[in-house]
Structures are given as structure tokens and as C-alpha cells.
């Protein structure tokens, strides 16, 4: 499992971002992409460098395919500006522009409900830190998401596998995206002590960032925290707090470990390399990730469904980004949840 930042570093960065960010509501007719293809001007508010994500979101709303969008930015930025500005005028709509450190980091609906990382952390961390036996195993804030992963040695079981002493602990993961890439998520988590792999379990709860329409105005204006938003935030964050406790339910964890243990009995009977290739297609792994899964599977010496789960979650540690590492930890649950027909396809691959 990737470790990310220390808890102190996470808190410092979240605090810094909370003080540096600003959100605006603007009609697209009040926006302009400059000829460098990298700068978005907001009427009366200044200029902001556009992140890759925000550019993709602009392209999606303008109907410009991503591949062509990138080609224009690299080879003909003035053409990109002409295209974007044309559709800003022709398909005018009210949008939320989220900024941080002089960058336009998201181009979102004016109904986007802002639930910020600071608020999520402020709600989640006291619950986590005050739960006896619970410790923060890993945390990070990336350009796209906040992650907090906590586990407890008070809820653990040994998996009856070919590997002696394969103890797994129960835990919880909290994540959030401020830029439109995911809901507020609280989900059960598992931590394998011997191999230090993490795995996101099923049974999580999500809350989408959908709220009321922001008011239409004639000028670009900054969004502030009003009483209505504070009330909405309090209601949602209370649900987050309660769901953290539910995610640590010992009976649910025990049933999940029973399922995990049963996966040790399902063996790969065909070509192992071909099986990993089939699995990689299902999980949308790139070539490096596919090679990593195969290597860890062989090194682990466990050619079972459980061995595949371990190989996928171990590959998470090799991932270049924390975002991708967490996606691979989620992919471990996908392997466990394969339907019988899907597992046979893997097991008998030739």
C-alpha cells in the first residue's frame, strides 16, 4: 500500500489549499481562452492556467474530442482558443470554475455541491482518531482526490491460505474529489499485515456533489460559504461520520473474510500468462501493470483467485500515482467479485 503523506503533512496541505482556492460562477460568454491554449480569462477576475482536467471538462462541454483537444493545444494553441471561444459564445451556459494556486482546476455544473476536503477531513479525522485501536495507515491529497485509509488491529482474522500467518485487519477508507471526479465516499477497507497490501472492500456509501443551481448574475462572481451551504454540509457530513462507524462492523468483516478465504480454493488451471492477460483486459490495466501482476503472481506462488487478488493489490504499490494505486486496490475487490462464468474464463485461459 502506498503511504502518501504523513497525517501532519496532509493536514498542512489541506489547510493551505483551503486558504488558496477560490470558486466562481460565470456564463461562458464571460470567459475567454487565450491564444496560448493554456490560459482561461475570467471577466473581472483575472487569468488562470488551465489544468489538463479542466481542459478536458471544457472540451466535453464544447463537444471537442479529447484527442483533437490535446493535438490543438500541442500543435495549434491559437486554433484551440478559437474553437473553445466559439462554443463558449454559441452554447452559452452558467458554469462553476474552481481555482487553486492561480490554476483553473475544474469546469463544472453550476449545480455542483462543494464539499471540500477540509470539511471532510475535519469531520472524519476526529472520529478515526478517537476510535480505540484505529490508526491512520495511509493518507494523501492529490490534484484530483483526498484519501484517508485507517485500519484497526482490534478487528482482524487470519486467512486460511497456503501462506501461513496471512492476517487481515478491518478498516475504512474516506475519499473525496473537489474537481468533479468522484463522490464523497466512505467504504470498508482491508489491510494485509504480511504483504502490507491494501484492498478496498464492497459496501461503501457515496454522496454525489449535486446541489441547488447557483444564481444567475450578469457578472462573474465568487462563490462564498453561505448559511444554506453550511446546513447542507452539516447534514451530509453527519452521514459521513455515522457511515465511518458502520464500515467497521465486525460481522460484515467476518463474512467478507469468509468470501476471501473461499477464493483460495479456486485455482488457475490453464495458461497463467493468458489468464493475467484476460484479467488485464477486464481491469483495463496497462502493459506495465499487467507485467507487474504476472510477476507478483508467480513470485507469490499461489495460483488461485486469492493469489490473483494479492498480485493485483501488490501491484498498487508499484503504481506511479496514489490515485492509480487506490484504483488498483479497488480492482482487487473486482477480482473477488468475479461471476462464476468470468472466473472460468480466467481459470481455463489457454
Q: What is the mean pLDDT of residues 139-164?
A: 89
Distance in angstroms (rounded) separating the CA atoms of residues 228 and 208: 17
Q: What is the mean pLDDT of residues 185-205?
A: 89
The DSSP string of 203-231 is --EEE--B-PPPPP-SS-EE----HHHHH
Distance in angstroms (rounded) separating the CA atoms of residues 163 and 286: 28
Distance in angstroms (rounded) separating the CA atoms of residues 300 and 196: 14
pLDDT in tens, 55-75: 999 999 999 999 999 999 999
- Indicate the pTM of the whole model: 0.91
Statement: residue 227 has pLDDT above 70: no
pLDDT in tens, 252-289: 999 999 999 999 999 999 999 999 999 999 999 999 99
Q: What is the pLDDT confidence band of residue 171, given thresholds at 50, 70 and 90?
A: very high
Question: Cα 308 to chain center, whole Å?
Answer: 22
Residue position matching grid coordinates 458502520: 246
C-alpha R_g of the chain: 23
Statement: residue 188 has pLDDT above 90: yes
What's phi and psi for 64, nearest 5 deg?
-100, 120
- Taking the CA atoms of residue 304, residue 308, residue 309 and residue 315 in that order, the dihedral angle to the nearest 10 degrees is 150
Q: What is the pLDDT confidence band of residue 212, given thresholds at 50, 70 and 90?
A: low
197-200 vs 221-222, strand pairing mode: unpaired
- Of all residues in the chain, the percent with pLDDT exceeding 70 is 93
Grid coordinates representing 293 are: 501482476
pLDDT in tens, 93-113: 999 999 999 999 999 999 888
> Which SS3 state, helix, strand or coil, does residue 156 take?
strand
94-100 vs 21-27, strand pairing mode: antiparallel
Calculate the alpha carbon distances from 122 to 20, 110, 138, 240, 300 in Å.
Answer: 18, 25, 17, 11, 40
Amino acid at each position: 500500500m502506498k503511504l502518501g503523506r504523513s497525517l501532519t503533512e496532509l493536514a498542512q496541505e489541506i489547510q493551505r489549499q483551503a486558504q488558496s482556492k477560490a470558486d466562481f460562477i460565470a456564463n461562458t460568454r464571460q470567459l475567454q481562452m487565450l491564444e496560448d491554449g493554456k490560459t482561461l480569462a475570467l471577466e473581472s477576475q483575472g487569468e488562470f492556467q488551465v489544468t489538463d482536467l479542466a481542459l478536458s471538462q471544457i472540451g466535453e462541454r464544447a463537444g471537442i474530442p479529447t484527442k483533437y483537444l490535446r493535438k490543438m493545444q500541442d500543435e495549434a494553441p491559437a486554433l484551440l482558443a478559437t474553437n473553445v471561444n466559439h462554443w463558449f459564445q454559441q452554447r452559452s451556459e452558467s458554469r462553476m470554475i474552481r481555482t487553486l494556486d492561480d490554476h483553473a482546476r475544474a469546469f463544472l455544473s453550476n449545480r455542483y455541491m462543494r464539499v471540500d476536503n477540509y470539511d471532510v477531513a475535519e469531520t472524519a479525522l476526529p472520529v478515526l482518531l478517537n476510535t480505540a485501536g484505529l490508526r491512520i495507515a495511509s493518507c494523501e491529497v492529490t490534484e484530483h482526490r483526498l484519501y484517508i485509509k485507517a485500519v484497526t488491529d482490534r478487528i482482524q482474522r487470519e486467512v486460511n491460505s497456503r501462506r501461513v500467518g496471512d492476517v487481515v485487519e478491518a478498516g475504512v477508507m474516506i475519499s473525496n474529489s473537489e474537481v468533479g471526479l468522484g463522490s464523497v465516499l466512505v467504504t470498508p477497507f482491508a489491510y494485509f499485515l504480511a504483504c502490507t497490501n491494501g484492498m478496498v472492500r464492497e459496501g461503501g456509501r457515496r454522496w454525489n456533489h449535486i446541489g441547488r443551481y447557483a444564481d444567475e448574475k450578469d457578472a462573474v462572481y465568487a462563490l462564498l460559504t453561505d448559511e444554506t451551504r453550511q446546513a447542507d454540509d452539516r447534514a451530509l457530513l453527519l452521514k459521513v461520520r455515522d457511515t465511518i462507524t458502520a464500515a467497521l462492523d465486525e460481522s460484515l468483516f467476518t463474512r467478507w473474510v469468509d468470501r476471501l478465504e473461499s477464493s483460495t480454493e479456486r485455482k488457475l488451471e490453464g495458461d497463467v500468462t493468458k489468464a493475467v492477460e484476460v484479467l488485464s483486459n477486464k481491469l483495463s490495466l496497462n502493459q506495465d501493470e499487467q507485467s507487474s501482476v504476472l510477476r507478483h503472481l508467480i513470485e507469490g506462488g499461489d495460483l488461485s483467485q486469492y493469489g490473483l487478488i494479492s498480485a493485483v493489490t501488490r501491484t498498487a504499490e508499484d503504481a506511479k500515482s496514489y490515485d492509480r494505486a487506490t484504483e488498483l486496490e479497488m480492482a482487487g475487490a473486482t477480482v473477488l467479485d468475479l461471476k462464476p462464468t468470468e472466473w472460468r474464463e480466467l481459470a481455463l485461459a489457454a
